[in-house]
Amino acid sequence: MAISGPMTAPAMGNTIGKTDVRAMSIATALFFMWGLLTSLNDILIPHLKSIFELSYAQAMLVQFAFFSSYFIFALPSGKLVEWRGYKQTMIIGLVVMAVGALLFLPAAGAASYALFLAALVVLAAGITCLQVAANPYVTILGPEKTAASRLNFSQAFNSLGTTLGPVFGGILILSTTQVTADKLHSFSAAALQTYREQQASSVRLPYIGIAIVLFALAAALGLAKMPSMQSNMNTQDFRPGEFGSEAATDSVWRHGWLLLGAVGIFLYVGGEVSVGSFLVNYFELPHIGALTEPQAAKYVGFYWGGAMVGRFIGSAVLRHVRAGIVLGTVATVAATLVVTSMMTHGSLAVWTVLAVGLFNSVMFPSIFSIGLHNLGPLTSKGSSLMVMAIVGGALLPLLQGKIADQIGIQHAFFIPVICYCYIAVFGFAARNLMEAQVPVEAVEVIS
């Protein structure tokens, strides 16, 4: 669920005869790490909710803090790439991520929800830097003709990270024994603070380990010898703000499909994150799964694992079926699955909502490709607009949290249903827009 705009295969005049395996291995590890850290939020949410006795809306501030950083830091990260280059931007991003991970230590020590949110903002700022630079970095690690293959390979590991993150977090973070709300209310203020510090301490070891790995990756990346970007100035990418001067006589606001696509990205990311964020608490409900938090965390891995499997299936299907038709179909199925989960209970409610991940997989690249269709020199600015629309991952979970506090988690899932309905209409309406299929290079970096 780590998210950024897709890239086209670069026209970079690369003269490298073979892929730099050492540097490629480091870059692939970066994709894995930001996928893992993004999906780890789905474990932090129920954990912090329990510790601090938060409402669902308050707990969703985790995603608000995290995804707001994408909106705030996307453009500055693009400027950083212009100033320091791709490689140094990635190193800076890794260091910032590591600092954000280490900030979980004082947050746990003080048992402060505000400090946890601040740590997430710093962590996500680093991930934003990393994502803005990572795709073009991978494309210059070998021959131009295999650039798309390298991107797909690296992003497969991003999906692996999102799949393993909830499992990893469930074992290390949700393994502590928690007391009931009634018991908590019987604690004195001092006893309650002590309890919160003990529970919050479960994040220390995982995030210390993450920080160490991030610092190690930054060091390894710094030592890796890379081709000079000055020799690849023809590289075309969709970083926010790139190549914008070529379209001075036109405006992105005149392109209806782009604007509709930006709304689609907003709703897609918001819907996907909203579903994933509530799964642990949803599966704890007696009439749904009656699972403990550690048990529920393992099931969340199936949600993100479905997205990983669907990405490979979708890549093959999109070679033969128009993007609009595929998008409309998968969004319709996703909406139907969520409605089914809302209207049932037990195993059926659990597995239908988990299956949504499989159909989420091709939505982002399909919406992106449709939105950027025929933009020409405005492609970069159009991509910037859609990347900033990822802020839906910050706002819609917060809205769903407020509604869940009023009517319960299960019924609050009507929010992603509305999102998928819009995406389905958008997809079917665009079925004749694109003659070519979604290119294999247009893949989701995320989430």
Answer for the pair 427, 328: CB distance below 8 angstroms, yes or no: yes
Give a yes or no: residue 1 inside a domain.
Answer: no
Give a yes or no: residue 440 inside a domain.
Answer: no
pLDDT for position 231 = 33
Please enumerate in sequence order all residues whose Cβ is within 8 A of that of 367, keeping only pairs 6 or more positions apart, or say none: 261, 264, 265, 268, 327, 386, 423, 426, 427
pTM for the structure as a whole: 0.82
pLDDT for position 67 = 92
Give a yes or no: residue 420 inside a domain.
Answer: yes
pLDDT for position 318 = 81
Pick the closest to residue 417 from 405, 404, 400 (CA basis): 400
Answer for the pair 86, 229: CB distance below 8 angstroms, yes or no: yes
pLDDT for position 5 = 43
Give a yes or no: residue 395 inside a domain.
Answer: yes
pLDDT for position 325 = 93
pLDDT for position 182 = 59
Read off the tokens for 139: 């494309």
Give a yes or no: residue 9 inside a domain.
Answer: no
Average pLDDT, the chain: 82
Instruction: Give the number of domains in the chain.
Output: 1
pLDDT for position 303 = 94
List the pLDDT tens digit at each of the 447 positions of the chain: 544 444 444 444 444 557 667 778 888 888 899 889 999 999 999 999 988 889 999 999 999 999 998 888 888 887 888 788 888 899 999 999 999 999 999 999 999 999 999 999 999 999 988 887 876 677 677 776 665 567 667 777 888 899 999 988 988 888 665 665 656 666 777 777 777 888 888 899 999 999 999 999 999 888 877 654 433 333 344 344 444 444 456 777 888 899 999 999 999 999 999 999 999 999 999 999 999 988 999 899 999 999 889 888 887 888 788 889 999 999 999 999 999 999 999 999 999 999 999 999 889 888 988 888 877 777 767 777 887 888 999 999 999 999 999 999 999 999 999 999 999 999 999 988 755 444 434 444 444
Report the alpha-carbon distance of residue 237 to residue 28 in Å, rounded: 19
Question: Helix 61-102 vs helix 256-284: angle between axes, to the nearest 10 degrees?
Answer: 80
- What's the domain range around 256? 21-429
**The CATH number of the domain where 153 resides is what?**
1.20.1250.20
Q: Phi, psi at residue 19, to the nearest 5°?
A: -70, 135
Give a yes or no: residue 158 inside a domain.
Answer: yes
Give a yes or no: residue 6 inside a domain.
Answer: no
Give a yes or no: residue 380 inside a domain.
Answer: yes
Counted residue by residue, the chain has a size of 447
